[in-house]
Each structure stands twice: as C-alpha cells, then as structure tokens.
Amino acid sequence: MSHTKVGAKTNARSPGRSVGLSSKPEPIVIDEAAGLVFKTERELYAHFLPQIQMLETEILANRLESDIPMKEHTRFESLLQQVIDDPDEVWEDAESIHGVKVTSYVGHFITSDNDPGVYYVALAYAVGGRPRFVYTHFPSRDLKLVDRFRRGNLVYDRVVKEVEKGAVEGDALSDGDALAVGLYKAMLTLRSPQDLSEDKFHEHDELREKTIEEPDEIWRSNDLAGNTLVTFVKQFDEGENDGTWYIAVTAEDEASSSHALLFSFPTKDENLVDRYRHGENLQAEEVTQEASH
C-alpha cells in the first residue's frame, strides 16, 4: 500500500508545481476552495496522515493471509493509473473517515489468459470527480476486502453505463441487475448489423406496454443458472412501426407466478425473434405480470 499526490496523471510530481528559474517553489494545490493548499510535501502528507493511517489500518485488519503478499504489491502498481483513468466503479463515502469524503476507484483487471484477475482499489481525495490525492492504493484477489470500500454512494458504474441506451424506466436493466445485463449483452451480440441500432431503441419504448398486455406469443424457458424466463413477443404493422417486432424478457417468480421485467427491445430481424421462441409456448391468459421488479 502507498499514497501519492495526483496531478493530471498519477506520478511523483505535485499538482501545481513547475520547474523554472525561480527558486521559490509554487504551492501544492489539492482543493483551493477548501483551503487545501500546501507549501511543502511534508505539510501535505502531515495534513492527510490521519486519513492515510485509518484506511491502511482497516485494510491490514481485513486482508486475508492468502491474498497477494505485500512484497508483491509493486508488481501491480501500473494498474493505479488505469483504475483512476478508467475505473469500473466509483464510490463516494463521506461518513466513514471522520466526515472526510473518501472516493474509491475500483477496477478488475485480467493479467493473463489463465488468471482469474486482480482487483485494484485507489482511495482518494477527489475534486470535481477527479482524484487530487491518493490516500492509499492496493491490489487484491479478495472480493470481500474490495467490497469494504464499495460504500457510500455509487457515482459511476461501467456496467450501467454500457447498457443505459437500452434501459427503460421500470426494468431491471436500468438498475444494473446482473441477470438483465448479461441477457441484454448476449442479445446485442446476436443482432444483425442491419437491425435497428441501439441508440434508436428508445424511439420504440411505447411498444413495451402493449407487448406485455397483448402479446402475440409467450414463451417460457429455463436458463443454465435455473432462472425461469418468460418472453413476450409482438409484431407491429402500422405506421412507423410497420415490420417491427418488440420483445420483453421477464423473470418468473414460481411462488406467485408473477413476472419481473428484465429488459425489452425492438427488432426488425425475425431471425433474432426466433432466438426467443424456445421452451414452452404459453397462452397469454396464463401469465400474471408486474410492471417492474
């Protein structure tokens, strides 16, 4: 574990410093609005030392002996810049460390083909969404340790960002539900390049309700994880929607026979529609629906 100042890039230089003919060093500016301007690096680190010590103590108290040995942490330090520039998640915690906001940058990296990957976590003081001082950073293969720093408010989630074009209010996809995201991404890989583009999906949102309430077909099937999926299919042949199919995929709760909406989408490709015609063909009146999960 280590800590560092952060400028435009994460390196050993202080933000705001420059090298010139003047013998008087420029101040180190972390957060001018909050009065965090320091004359020297010693003063900077002294200010943040309590937060550094609290966070490092928490990490050491919760890391497993079987986790990546401390002496090997330097092998992964190149991931620090990557997790700050392109994180999988960003969390803001304003309560755990004596009211001082700690922003967690979390990333998962695959280092080789046969490697399950490594998590890298950077805990920082951020201004305007960008880290200005990294309290500490560390690699880990222990998801429980990483989860300790997924706290406060989730302000960025790569998974949700990747599927937001296709998410519709009220479905599980808009909440980043893992099952919905996985099925949605699988659907995108099956689409024809000539089909409706993803950025056009929202132009057909009004078809979802009619598809669920008045479907042409309903299909029930089980996936490999044991989830029972029920798919509603309807073809539209009027106006701008002429030749458009709409599909709504739901997860069935066997106890109540109700259905939580996972995601929905339009398509003009009947070959794609055929991918969802599998399992048991149901009659519409056999199914009870919920507006959302």
Summarize pLDDT for 78-91 with one digit per residue, the tens: 999 999 999 999 99
Write down the residue that tokens 């293969």 correspond to.
141
Q: Which is nearest to 207 in space by CA: 176, 179, 237, 182?
A: 237
What end-to-end distance do the CA atoms of the chain give, in Å? 41
Q: For residue 243, what pLDDT is reported?
A: 87
Residue 62 corresponds to which amino acid?
N
Torsion angle, alpha carbons of 88, 55, 94, 3, to 10: -60
Question: Residue 237 corresponds to which tokens in the numbers above?
Answer: 């042949």
Which one-letter amino acid corresponds to residue 107?
Answer: G
Annotated domain spans of the chain: 2-156, 164-286
Residue 178: exposed, middle, or buried by beta-carbon count in 10 A (0-12, 13-18, 19+)? Answer: exposed
pLDDT at 287: 53
Cβ burial 106-123 (10 Å sphere, 16+ → b, else e): bbbbeeeeeeeebbbbbb
Q: What is the pLDDT of residue 48?
A: 93
Q: Say if residues 59 and 79 touch (Cβ distance below 8 Å).
A: no
Of the candidates 153, 177, 157, 37, the one whose C-alpha atom is nearest the C-alpha of residue 103 is: 153
- Which pairing describes strands 258-267 and 244-253: parallel, antiparallel, or unpaired? antiparallel
Burial class (CB in 10 A: 0-12, 13-18, 19+), 200: exposed
Residue 112 tokens read as 């080789």
**89 vs 210: CA distance, rounded Å:** 36
Instruction: Give pLDDT, residue 91.
Output: 95
Output the pLDDT for position 94: 87
The CA distance from 214 to 138, in Å, is: 53
Instruction: Indicate if the alpha-carbon torsion angle 166, 170, 171, 173 is positive or negative.
Output: positive
Q: For the chain, which ranges sit under pLDDT 70?
A: 1-24, 111-114, 283-293
Per-residue CA distances from 28 to 7, 47, 132 (Å): 10, 12, 10
For 18-55, the pLDDT digits (tens) are 444 555 678 999 999 999 999 999 999 999 999 999 99
